[in-house]
Amino acid sequence: MSGLSIDKLSMRFDLPNGASVQALKDVSLDLKAGELLSVLGPSGCGKTTLLNIVAGFLAPTSGEIRLNGSLVTGPSAERGMVFQQGALFEWMSVRENVGFGPKMKGQNPKIARETVDHLLDVVGLHDFKEKAVYELSGGMQQRVALARCLANDPDVILMDEPLGALDALTREKMQSLVLKLWKETGKTIILITHSVEEALLLGERLLVMAPRPGRIHKEYRLPFAEMGVGQDLREVKKHPEFAKNREEILAMIWDMEEEIMGRTEVAS
């Protein structure tokens, strides 16, 4: 039973004033090993909550998650996470950051060093191994974060808007890198993003979530991730299907946002 299965996951936050917020309601999902899933939705739809539950940082109020058949009860090295920004350890060099996971496991330093060197070559940071992380640009820092996650050889990689803080050009390069790493390593990846284009480009499967309560609104299976591996992503974007999907999803999210705004106005 390999892969990640999410079964009837619900999450309710109780607020101090006695009210409660239904962040997720009955979210079910099955991911086969090696699938790349992107999750999209308006703010407040519970995508980050979902990711935090999968990572094990939060316990759901009901439902369960199983990875390769065993129940998820807390954070673990088999579910690696890449954060938007600021999750690198600035007191360590690039090499030490990437080697953190193997070191925590108590892996043989010599083997760990080879892994780290190899991964830093893969993400294109060959010349920056001994630098301090705060000396690197934002894009390079995210490369370190990717390499650090891969060094642990996790079964699932969770990405919480990893490219959100990058400028457009760097972002495009990083998107190619994510596709390349996905194809080369065969990891299961869940990627949360705000950008519809990014979700389309990087999602083999794409989940659109709706807010209040957070739930799965629609699911797509897309060919663009496969097309984009080793390709110029701008070519992929020119595909007529890509434009069609993008407009459809944008309209969908736009409607949800409108609905939230309308409801808020009525409420006030």
Partner 1 sequence: MSVLSNLFAELIAILTAILGAVPFIVGYVLLILSCLVVWKFIRKLMTPKKDYGSLKTVTFGDESAVSSNFAASVVSIVLIFILWGTFTGTKLLPSFLHMPGAYEGQFDFTYTAEAADGTVDDATVTVLVHGVGEQPVVPTIEPGDGFAKNDVIVIQAYRSKLLPWDANDAIMRKDGAKIIAINGQAIADGQDMNIAQTRLALTNKGTLNIEPNQGVQMEPIWLPSPEDVWASLVDISTDGFKNFTLAEHLGFSLFRVVIGFLLGAVVGIPLGYAMGLSDWFRGWFDPIVEFMRPVPPLALIPLVIIWAGIGEQGKIILLFLAALWIMAIAARSGVSGVKISKVHAAYSLGASKWQIMRYVIIPNSLPEIFTGARVAMGVCWGTVVAAELVAAEKGAGMMIMVASKFQQTQIVILGIILIGIIGFGIDMLMRWAERVLVPWKGRG
What does the binding site for partner 1 look like in residue numbers (CB under 8 A)? Answer: 55-57, 74-77, 79-81, 83-84, 86-91, 100-101, 104-105, 132, 134, 148-149, 152, 154, 158
In the complex with partner 1, which residue's Cβ is closer, 50 or 149? 149
Q: Considering only CA atoms, which of 73, 6, 8 is closest in space to residue 37? A: 6
| CB of 77 vs partner 1, minimal distance in Å | 3
In the complex with partner 1, which residue's Cβ is closer, 54 or 225? 54
In the complex with partner 1, which residue's Cβ is closer, 12 or 131? 131
| CB of 44 vs partner 1, minimal distance in Å | 20
| CB of 72 vs partner 1, minimal distance in Å | 12
Token pair, residue 144, equals 């370190």
Q: Are 245 and 227 in contact (CB under 8 A)?
A: no
In the complex with partner 1, which residue's Cβ is closer, 25 or 79? 79
Instruction: Give the DSSP letter of residue 83.
Output: -
What is the rounded distance in angstroms from the CA atom of residue 58 to the CA atom of residue 71? 14
In the complex with partner 1, which residue's Cβ is closer, 105 or 126? 105
| CB of 79 vs partner 1, minimal distance in Å | 6
| CB of 262 vs partner 1, minimal distance in Å | 34
In the complex with partner 1, which residue's Cβ is closer, 81 or 201? 81
| CB of 124 vs partner 1, minimal distance in Å | 21
- Which residue shows structure tokens 């999968």? 54
What is the rounded distance in angstroms from the CA atom of residue 260 to the CA atom of residue 258? 5
137-141 long-range Cβ contacts below 8 angstroms, 24+ apart:
137/170, 138/85, 138/165, 138/166, 138/167, 138/170, 139/166, 139/167, 139/170, 139/171, 139/173, 139/174, 141/85, 141/88
| CB of 78 vs partner 1, minimal distance in Å | 8
Q: Considering only CA atoms, which of 257, 157, 264 is closest in space to residue 209? A: 257
| 3-state SS class at 164 | coil
In the complex with partner 1, which residue's Cβ is closer, 33 or 132? 132
What is the rounded distance in angstroms from the CA atom of residue 19 to the CA atom of residue 254? 27
What is the rounded distance in angstroms from the CA atom of residue 55 to the CA atom of residue 47? 12
What is the 3-class SS of 3-30, one letter each residue? CEEEEEEEEEEECCCCCEEEEEEEEEEE
